[in-house]
């Protein structure tokens, strides 16, 4: 009998733990968080300065790296490698397509999409990008504003996650490699050497980026929830209320992740997508439908026609010394760094749920289908916000100035018919998408700190859930959320490099790919990977 079976759940937790990654990540994160709590203003200033330097000095790198990823995913979709199966040749997908898409979308940037949907276009409408070349609050500014929301939240954003997910899933489900970010270097070091110092360093960095990403998400979207409570009730929440709200959200997503993929995350993801569709359609019908269609259609045409130009635009003509313009650095390059910093846990989660699917299926679902759902949301929310602002039906800019972007959605929905119901549904959607993003990233933390276990122990997942919740509460009360967000985004630089390494790993491995049933022991394409194939990990029965 295995030791973990003898000792029960605690024994399993101890046995599966990747101690160096867990301990070092925890210590580094704790030291950083203490700095953010004790000296939030200094930490935020320091981290903000570091990010400003990166965005203005090497911002071009983020743009080039992201475009390379988009071009490569386009090749995977239309090229011959798209047929490669992530698993055995005759293996069926682990999840149905509706469940797969719902989990992928909910775990990705959906919480951010809900957060920024009513807010971003109105920002660009008032402070116009130099690329658009239009007067503030003009028709041209409106089209350009929505076009840029498509650009920031569309193909490029989802591409980074798919690029990270594909090689991990390929090596994990064809060669029994661990579900870890360091698995992308397997073609060079071999699966047996994924415990090397460089592999551990990659995984430790991934843990820190994931902690920062999910904690700041809890902080940002939690603030949106709190603003909604204050907006609808008129009562101030205060520090105690903040802690109680974040604690409640933590309990919910911890229960969800403890229930596992099928009972927790999958069911909640179905609910998310249904409510997301309902709110989009309701706002489209009750809002300025003709205006949304007119401006949104033109913005979509501009996005398609000018995608390449926008992808390489730095606004250097507006920047001192020919660097990156402040607008581009503060928006586009900020987002690209943010998406890169999220690649560890979103990419790892997509890899976890992609068993049995082809490369093309993952790329089409993760990039094209996700973008296809995102664009109507931003067209509807952005178009409605601009229309209401322009016609004096809601002063959304004033609310944003007073309550930050977290308050943008509430005056928007309140100005529409059935405003009270729409506001309530928006508040629920904010909460459920936050919970799904948090529980999927907590699952990723479990995989990263257990050496790549497909089903980390419940104890592991619960520990990370409560640690993340406690961290978010402390940071919101002490004002350290911005500092942690800046620190997490800094990790986008290294992960932009790791994402390109993932591309090279796919080129090497897919170029040498042969179906498993055609291989024999005397003729293998990847000798460093093939000899150590072991029996597939048996899923946790509690997750069925």
- What are phi and psi for residue 93, nearest 5 degrees? -60, 145
Bridge partners of 523?
520
Position 276 scores a pLDDT of 92
User: Is 389 within a domain?
Assistant: yes
User: What pLDDT, on a 0 to 100 scale, did the predictor assign at position 208?
Assistant: 80
Is 1 part of any domain? Answer: no
Encoded tokens for 353: 């749920």
Q: How far apart are CA 315 and CA 329, in angstroms?
A: 9
d(CA 411, CA 48): 30
Q: How many domains does the chain have?
A: 1
In this prediction, residue 540 carries a pLDDT of: 44
User: Considering only CA atoms, which of 372, 397, 378, 381 is closest in space to residue 286?
Assistant: 381
Does 542 fall in a domain?
no
Is residue 254, in this structure, part of any structural domain at all? Answer: yes
Task: Evaluate whether 191 touches 452 at the Cβ level (below 8 Å).
Answer: no
3-state secondary structure of 85: strand
CA gap 312, 2 in Å, rounded = 55
Encode burial over 351-376: b for 16+ CB neighbours within 10 A, e otherwise.
bbbbbbbbbbbbbbbbbbbbbebbbb
Q: Is the dihedral of CA 99, 104, 105, 108 positive or negative?
A: positive
Q: Is residue 498 part of a domain?
A: yes
Is residue 8 a part of any domain in this protein? no
Report CA torsion sign: 432, 437, 438, 443.
positive
- Fill in the DSSP letter of residue 535: P
- Contact assessment for residue 180 and residue 21, using Cβ atoms and an 8 Å cutoff: no
Residue 401's CB is within 10 A of a number of other CB atoms, namely 12
Asked if residue 172 lies in contact with residue 183, where contact means CB atoms within 8 angstroms, the answer is: yes
In this structure, the dihedral spanned by the alpha carbons of residues 322, 324, 325 and 326, taken in order and rounded to 10 degrees, is -130
Rounded-to-integer distance, Cα 374 and Cα 426, Å: 16
First to last CA, the chain: 23
Half-sphere exposure of 264 (CA within 13 A, CB side): 24
Closest CA to 132 of 292, 291, 296, 309: 309
Nearest-angstrom CA–CA distance, 297 and 305: 12
In sequence order, the 6+-apart residues with CB closer than 8 A to the CB of 417 are 286
Positive or negative, the CA dihedral 447, 449, 450, 455 is negative
Domain contains 538: no
Contact between 327 and 127 under an 8 Å Cβ cutoff? The reply is yes
Q: Which residue has the tokens 């997503």?
A: 253
| Predicted confidence pLDDT, tens digits, the chain (544 residues) | 444 444 566 766 666 777 888 788 778 777 777 777 777 777 777 777 887 787 778 889 999 999 999 999 999 999 999 999 998 888 889 889 999 999 888 877 767 788 788 889 999 999 899 899 889 889 999 999 999 999 999 999 999 999 999 999 999 999 889 888 999 999 998 888 888 889 888 988 888 877 776 776 666 677 777 777 777 666 676 767 777 777 777 777 667 666 666 666 788 888 889 999 999 999 999 999 999 999 999 999 999 999 999 999 988 766 555 556 788 888 898 889 888 988 988 898 899 999 999 999 999 999 999 999 999 999 999 999 999 999 889 888 888 777 677 677 888 998 999 888 998 888 888 878 777 777 777 777 878 888 777 777 777 777 777 777 777 777 677 766 667 667 777 878 889 999 999 999 999 999 886 654 444 443 334 434 543 444 444 444 344 3
User: Rounded distance, CA 73 to CA 67, Å?
Assistant: 10
pLDDT of residue 148: 96
SS3 string, 139-151, reads HHHHHHHHHHHHH
Cβ burial 427-460 (10 Å sphere, 16+ → b, else e): bbbbbbbbbbbbbbbbbbbbbbbbbbbbbbbbbb
Q: Is 87 left (phi over 0), alpha (psi -120 to 50) or beta?
A: left
Other Cβ atoms closer than 10 A to 306: 14
pLDDT at 369: 95
Q: Is 480 helix (H, G, I), strand (E, B) or coil?
A: coil
Site of tokens 């009360």: 477
Its domain, for residue 241, covers 17-513
pLDDT given for residue 535 in this prediction:
42
SS3 418: coil
Let me know: does 352 contact 214? Beta carbons within 8 Å: no
The helix/strand/coil state of 289 is helix
Q: How far apart are CA 219 and CA 243, in angstroms?
A: 11
Task: Enter the tokens of residue 257.
Answer: 């992740």
Note whether residue 521 is domain-resident: no
CATH number of the domain to which 409 belongs: 1.20.1740.10
Q: How far is the C-alpha of 71 from the C-alpha of 501, rounded, in Å?
A: 15
Closest among 177, 170, 208, 211 to 192, alpha carbons compared: 177
* Measured distance CA(229)–CA(119) in Å, rounded: 18
């Amino acid at each position: 009998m295995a030791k973990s079976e003898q000792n029960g759940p605690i024994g399993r937790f101890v046995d599966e733990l990747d101690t160096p990654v867990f301990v070092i990540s925890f210590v580094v994160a704790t030291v950083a968080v203490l700095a953010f709590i004790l000296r939030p203003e200094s930490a935020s200033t320091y981290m903000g300065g570091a990010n400003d330097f990166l965005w203005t000095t090497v911002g071009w790198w983020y743009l080039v790296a992201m475009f390379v990823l988009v071009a490569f995913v386009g090749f995977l979709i239309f090229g011959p490698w798209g047929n490669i199966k992530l698993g055995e040749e005759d293996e069926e997908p682990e999840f149905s397509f509706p469940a797969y898409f719902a989990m992928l979308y909910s775990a990705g940037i959906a919480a951010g999409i809900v957060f920024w949907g009513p807010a971003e276009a109105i920002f660009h409408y008032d402070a116009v990008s130099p690329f658009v070349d239009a007067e503030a609050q003009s028709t041209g500014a409106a089209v350009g504003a929505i076009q840029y929301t498509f650009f920031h939240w569309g193909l490029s954003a989802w591409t980074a996650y798919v690029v990270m997910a594909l090689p991990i899933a390929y090596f994990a489900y064809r060669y029994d490699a661990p579900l870890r970010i360091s698995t992308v270097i397997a073609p060079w070091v071999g699966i047996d050497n994924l415990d090397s110092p460089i592999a551990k360093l990659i995984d430790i960095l991934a843990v820190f980026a994931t902690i920062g990403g999910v904690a700041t998400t809890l902080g940002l979207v939690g603030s949106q929830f709190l603003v909604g409570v204050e907006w609808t009730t008129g009562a101030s929440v205060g520090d105690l209320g903040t802690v109680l709200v974040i604690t409640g959200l933590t309990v919910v997503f911890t229960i969800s992740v403890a229930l596992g993929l099928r009972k927790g995350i999958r069911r909640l993801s179905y609910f998310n997508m249904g409510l997301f569709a309902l709110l989009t359609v309701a706002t489209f019908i009750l809002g300025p439908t003709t205006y949304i269609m007119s401006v949104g259609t033109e913005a979509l045409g501009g996005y398609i026609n000018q995608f390449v130009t926008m992808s390489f635009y730095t606004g250097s003509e507006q920047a001192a010394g020919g660097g990156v313009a402040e607008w581009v650095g503060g928006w586009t390059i900020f987002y690209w760094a943010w998406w890169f910093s999220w690649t560890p846990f979103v990419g790892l989660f997509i890899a976890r749920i992609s068993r049995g699917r082809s490369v093309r299926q993952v790329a089409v679902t993760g990039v094209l289908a996700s973008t296809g759902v995102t664009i109507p949301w931003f067209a509807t929310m952005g178009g409605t916000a601009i229309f209401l602002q322009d016609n004096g039906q809601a002063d959304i800019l004033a609310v944003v100035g007073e309550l930050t972007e977290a308050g943008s959605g509430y005056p928007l929905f309140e100005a529409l018919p059935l405003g009270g119901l729409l506001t309530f549904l928006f508040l629920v959607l904010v909460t459920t998408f936050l919970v799904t993003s948090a529980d999927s990233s907590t699952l990723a933390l479990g995989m990263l700190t257990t050496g790549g276990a497909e089903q980390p122990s419940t104890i592991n997942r619960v520990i990370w859930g409560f640690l993340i919740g406690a961290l978010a509460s402390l940071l919101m009360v002490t004002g350290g959320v911005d500092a942690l967000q800046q620190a997490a985004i800094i990790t986008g630089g290294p992960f932009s490099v790791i994402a390109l390494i993932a591309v090279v790993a796919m080129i090497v491995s897919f170029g040498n790919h042969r179906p498993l049933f055609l291989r024999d022991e005397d003729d293998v394409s990847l000798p460093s990977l093939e000899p150590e194939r072991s029996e597939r990990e048996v899923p946790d029965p509690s997750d069925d």
